[in-house]
Amino acid sequence: MDLRSARARLDQLWRRGAEFLGCEYAIMGGAMTWVSERHLVAAISNAGGFGVIACGAMSPDQLAAEIAATKEMTKRPFGVNLIVMHPELAALVEACVAGKVSHVVFAGGIPSAAHVQKIKAAGAKTMAFAPGPPIAKKLMRMKIDGIIIEGAEAGGHIGPVSTSVLAQEILPAVREVPVFVAGGIGRGEAILSYLEMGASGCQLGTRFVCARESIAHANFKKAFILAAARDAMPSIQLDRRFPVIPVRAIVNRATERFLETQRGVIERYNRGELSKDAAQLEIEHFWAGSLRRAVIDGDVESGSLMAGQSVGMVTREQSTAEIIEELVDQALTALMTRERLEAASQ
């Protein structure tokens, strides 16, 4: 297989995803709060991928401004990621409709049928995360247009199941809509493998943190470049009476202080000094504002260094276009190498 044939094969494998997203390569940018804003989102779309704005805790006015600013930087399609638990979700949906965003990605839970239909009625496509086959089927009954499956190797808030297992469970069972695979993906060979399993494309977040267009602080980027896969660990829950939502991040001093805080709060609760609700709230508030401190302010000791296990594959700062070109080249090389090996064995 020569390069031309390999390109044709790769184009065929992710054609459904690329057509669905309206881009050249079916590579979505993960929505990372404070990182996935206009500069990185536009850069990913301009490089042939599909950028996604991380709305996070933005107000509707802030989101509207971010959409408009991103449109000034790219004429290509991009999406917006909305957290379904946001108290102003309805207004955020309106901002996406008014801004004529091509795709809206719902995260953090199952969206309401009304919000899905409102976006679809405006001519945009809807996507949502499925942590297992039953949720995927439920989303399809809601007429969701596309599904993302994200494994525990991902950065930030994670579920309990690995990417490879989710792919084996969901890709053979869901053919009606495009499915994009995410979580721990850092090289083109992995993208190729999921495409050949039936995925329409892949979503990568951690790999883009150290893009030159990323506004993440130099200290934050340095932490990623120096980290290995085993450094990105999920947060630990000490007492099941006080649940902790698992968050994968690079271990730092704040990680140790979080454990100390939990121990102290649990001891105070056991002594009757705190109510259960007050104890839970104190644990939950530990990380308040910590992601911004790390990403924007560069405080990599007391801030949260949310990162996927693919962080070990982030070795230097590169342009977004270089990163995407590298991923595509890796997939093409894998196709050609396999063909040569098969030919040699015959």
| pLDDT tens, residue by residue, 154-202 | 999 999 999 999 999 999 999 999 999 999 999 999 999 999 999 999 9
Using pLDDT thresholds of 50, 70 and 90, give the confidence band for residue 288. Answer: confident
Predicted pLDDT at 345? 77
In whole angstroms, what is the distance from residue 42 CA to residue 38 CA?
Answer: 6
> Over the stretch 32-61, which tens digit does the pLDDT of each residue have?
999 999 999 999 999 999 999 999 999 999
Instruction: Supply the pTM of this predicted model.
Output: 0.95
Q: How large a percentage of the chain has pLDDT more than 90?
A: 96
* Tokens at 202, concatenated: 């892949």
- Contact between 229 and 244 under an 8 Å Cβ cutoff? The reply is no
Q: How large a percentage of the chain has pLDDT more than 70?
A: 100
Which three-class secondary structure state does DSSP give residue 297? coil
Tell me: pLDDT of 343 over 80: no
Average pLDDT, the chain: 96
DSSP for 168-210 reads: HHHTTT--SS-EEEESS--SHHHHHHHHHHT-SEEEESGGGTT
Using pLDDT thresholds of 50, 70 and 90, give the confidence band for residue 342. Answer: confident
Residues forming beta bridges with residue 96, ordered by sequence position: none
> Over the stretch 76-91, which tens digit does the pLDDT of each residue have?
999 999 999 999 999 9
Tell me: pLDDT of 207 over 90: yes
Strand 125-129 vs strand 156-157: parallel, antiparallel, or unpaired?
Answer: unpaired
> Over the stretch 245-258, which tens digit does the pLDDT of each residue have?
899 999 999 999 99
Mean pLDDT of 216-222: 98
Alpha helices in the chain (DSSP H): 3-13, 15-21, 38-46, 60-73, 89-98, 113-121, 133-141, 163-170, 188-197, 218-226, 253-270, 276-284, 290-295, 320-345
Domain with CATH 3.20.20.70 in the chain: 3-204+316-345
The backbone torsions φ and ψ at residue 229, rounded to the nearest 5 degrees and listed phi first, read -55, -40
* Tokens at 173, concatenated: 């069972």
| Polymer length of the chain | 346
CATH of domain 3-204+316-345: 3.20.20.70
Q: Which of left, alpha, beta for 49 (phi over 0: left; psi -120 to 50: alpha)?
A: beta
Measured in whole angstroms, the distance separating CA 271 from the mean position of its chain's CA atoms is 41
